[in-house]
């Protein structure tokens, strides 16, 4: 019963907007909510909820083209994209930042996005590939840290042993300057920072050497 | 003054784009330069002298600064 006025309003608005030639009605809302609940009882875990709500509405009139066959053209093409990720970033105050990417492309731009602008598609795919590689490297880095660290300190003997094993198979990566830098790391955070930000090329050689003669 | 400059050399343009994106995610500002020959001279600091090129074509130098 109470929904009727709202329905009439929407219908009237739709007719009003579509009645105008070449007019488009576009509506988008995004709502994000975060709830964190903690209790004084230390045995109870901290609980949290993250919610995202997105609503997109579009009213598009038919496009009137002067086609050779005399028929009207199709409605405007649209491309919509929504992406939600939790990124592995050990340097972001020990929290994993949340990345939300949304895009809405219409008309000829949407039609030609991949045909006429391959560079755009290339950047999007390279970004996804970069995220995948970082995720894999982060997991391997965790394994390395678990192998050479005790609490927050690095066990220099274990680190040295791992470096020497990795050097045998990857001498062009575990060069003398790289080995010196790695051996300077005394704390877990120092080694994490060094490998993640600057020596990420050395992560796989070190990771793959963990299981050798273990 | 920058704290760190990272230089990555790729033989493929797509790989260079991925390398640049990885650096950007880690907070670096990046540029990609296409060239034929790269000469790296780190001898004054105890490093190596290297000359790099790809017989199949151009090489792409990704420079990241942070």
Task: Mark out the alpha helices in chain A (DSSP H runs).
Answer: 3-19, 107-116, 118-148, 156-169, 176-184, 188-193, 203-208
B18 touches chain A (CB under 8 A): yes
Q: Dump pLDDT digits (tens) for A89-113.
A: 656 555 666 777 777 766 666 666 6
- Which residues of chain A does B6 touch, with a Cβ-Cβ cutoff of 8 Å? 198
pLDDT of A158 reads 93
8 Å CB contact of B4 and A198: yes
Query: What is the rounded CA–CA span in Å between residue B46 and residue A23?
Result: 67
Cα(A179)–Cα(A53) distance, integer angstroms: 49
Q: What per-residue confidence (pLDDT) applies to B15?
A: 93
Q: Which residue of B has its CA nearest to A137?
A: B22
pLDDT in tens, chain B (66 residues): 779 999 999 999 999 999 999 999 999 999 999 999 999 999 998 888 999 999 888 999 999 999
In Å, how far is B33's CA from the nearest CA of chain A? Answer: 16
Please list the ranges in chain A whose pLDDT falls under 50: 1-3
Domain segments of chain B: what residues? Answer: 5-65
How far, in Å, CA of B51 to CA of A175, rounded?
Answer: 17
Q: How far is CA A16 from CA A21, A24, A99, in A?
A: 11, 11, 38
Rg (CA), chain B: 13
Instruction: Break chain A into its structural domains and give their ranges.
Output: 25-30+51-61+70-116, 137-208
Classified as helix, coil or strand, A23 is coil
Which pLDDT score, from 0 to 100, does residue A114 have? Answer: 53
ipTM of the complex: 0.89
B22·A200 Cβ contact <8 A? yes
Confidence at residue A139, expressed as pLDDT on a 0 to 100 scale? 93
Residue A50's pLDDT is 78
pTM: 0.57
Element (H, E) at A78: strand A78-86
Q: Would you call A129 an interface residue with chain B, using a CB distance cutoff of 8 Å?
A: yes
Is the minimum CB–CB distance between B14 and chain A shorter than 8 Å?
A: yes
What residues 23-62 of chain B have any CB closer than 8 A to a CB of chain A? 24-27, 46-47
pLDDT score at A1: 43
Return the percent helix, strand and coil in chain B, to nearest 5: 25, 50, 25
Q: Which residue of B has its CA nearest to A123?
A: B17
Query: How many separate helices (H) and strands (E) can be counted in chain A?
Result: 7, 6
pLDDT in tens, A138-172: 999 999 999 999 888 999 999 999 999 999 999 99
Question: Which residues of chain B are within 8 Å of residue A129 when distances are taken between CB atoms?
Answer: 18, 21
Cβ neighbours for A29, distance < 8 A, ≥ 6 positions apart: A53, A54, A55
Query: A20: which DSSP letter?
Result: S
């Amino acid at each position: 019963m109470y929904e009727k006025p709202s329905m009439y309003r929407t219908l009237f608005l739709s007719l009003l907007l579509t009645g105008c030639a070449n007019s488009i009605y576009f509506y988008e809302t995004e709502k994000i909510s975060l709830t964190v609940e903690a209790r004084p009882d230390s045995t109870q875990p901290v609980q949290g909820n993250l919610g995202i709500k997105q609503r997109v509405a579009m009213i598009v009139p038919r496009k009137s083209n002067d086609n050779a066959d005399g028929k009207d053209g199709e409605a405007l093409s649209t491309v919509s994209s929504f992406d939600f990720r939790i990124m592995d970033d050990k340097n972001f105050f020990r929290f994993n930042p949340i990345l939300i990417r949304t895009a809405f492309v219409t008309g000829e731009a949407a039609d030609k996005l991949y045909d006429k602008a391959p560079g755009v598609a290339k950047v999007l795919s390279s970004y996804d590939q970069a995220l995948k590689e970082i995720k894999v490297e982060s997991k391997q880095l965790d394994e390395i840290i678990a192998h050479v660290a005790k609490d927050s300190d690095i066990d220099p003997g274990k680190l040295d042993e791992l470096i020497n094993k990795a050097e045998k198979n990857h001498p062009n990566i575990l060069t003398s300057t790289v080995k010196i830098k790695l051996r300077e790391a005394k704390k877990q955070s120092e080694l994490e920072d060094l490998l993640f930000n600057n020596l990420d090329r050395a992560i796989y050689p070190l990771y793959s050497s963990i299981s050798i003669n273990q | 003054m920058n704290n760190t400059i990272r230089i990555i050399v790729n033989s493929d343009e797509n790989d260079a784009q991925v390398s640049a994106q990885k650096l950007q995610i880690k907070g670096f500002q990046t540029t990609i330069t296409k060239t034929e020959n790269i000469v790296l001279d780190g001898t004054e600091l105890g490093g190596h002298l290297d000359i790099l090129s790809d017989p199949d074509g151009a090489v792409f130098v990704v420079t990241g600064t942070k």
